[in-house]
């Protein structure tokens, strides 16, 4: 019985190693010359082209975007902001993304772009010096869970266009 199990295992292993798609996938290290620690990455399919939009964010105000499956990258910025430490980014496509920066008080912010990073609109910030955004995860463009002060909370999008920052602090998400 053991020899049959071993034979089946070896046959499956040989088949897997022989598949071109299994061999074609690999990681490639890219160097950019930018002084940063990348901490956020998100990818989304571009419906019009079939390519993957990849967004990355990091320390020292670094925001990067690729719209050709990572072949080329564009460095983006949020004009008029002090140097921010970006901890997370969530992309919905090549145009729409949410970006979270971390730091004490007003350095903890959520920005949104709807034009591929040309313009960014402030969605959320707090002036409380003890407030610290850690991370962001979006289940939709209207449900935005964020980790703040090591607890997950939900920021719900305002439906009204009159809101100056787009989000209100919502309910705390309970840990399981």
Looking at residue 151, its pLDDT comes to 56
CB 116 within 8 A of CB 136: no
Work out the number of other CB atoms within 10 angstroms of the CB of residue 159.
7
97-127 residues labelled b (16+ CB within 10 A) or e (exposed) = bbbbbbbeeebbbbbbbeebbeebeebbbee
Per-residue pLDDT of the chain (176 residues; tens, 9 = 90+): 555 554 545 444 444 455 455 456 777 777 778 888 888 999 999 999 999 999 999 999 999 999 999 999 999 999 888 789 999 999 999 999 999 998 877 888 889 999 999 999 988 877 777 777 777 777 777 666 566 555 555 555 432 333 334 444 443 333 33
pLDDT at 162: 34
DSSP 34: -
Note the CATH architecture for domain 37-172. 6 Propeller (2.120)
What is the model's pTM? 0.69
Give pLDDT, residue 33.
Answer: 80
Give the span between the Cα atoms of 54 and 32, in whole angstroms. 15
């Amino acid at each position: 019985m053991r020899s049959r199990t071993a034979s089946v295992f070896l046959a499956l292993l040989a088949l897997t190693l022989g598949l071109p798609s299994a061999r074609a996938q690999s990681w490639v290290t890219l160097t950019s010359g930018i002084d940063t620690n990348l901490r956020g990455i998100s990818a989304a399919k571009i419906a019009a082209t079939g390519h993957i939009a990849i967004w990355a964010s990091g320390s020292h105000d670094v925001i990067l975007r690729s719209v050709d499956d990572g072949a080329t990258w564009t460095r983006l910025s949020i004009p008029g902001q002090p140097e921010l430490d970006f901890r997370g980014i969530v992309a919905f496509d090549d145009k729409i993304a949410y970006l979270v920066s971390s730091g004490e008080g007003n350095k903890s912010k959520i920005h949104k772009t709807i034009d591929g990073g040309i313009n960014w609109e402030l969605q959320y910030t707090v002036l409380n010096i003890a407030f610290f955004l850690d991370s962001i995860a979006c289940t939709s463009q209207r449900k935005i869970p964020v980790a703040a002060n090591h607890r997950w909370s939900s920021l719900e999008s305002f439906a009204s266009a009159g809101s100056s920052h787009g989000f209100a602090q919502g309910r705390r998400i309970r840990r399981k």
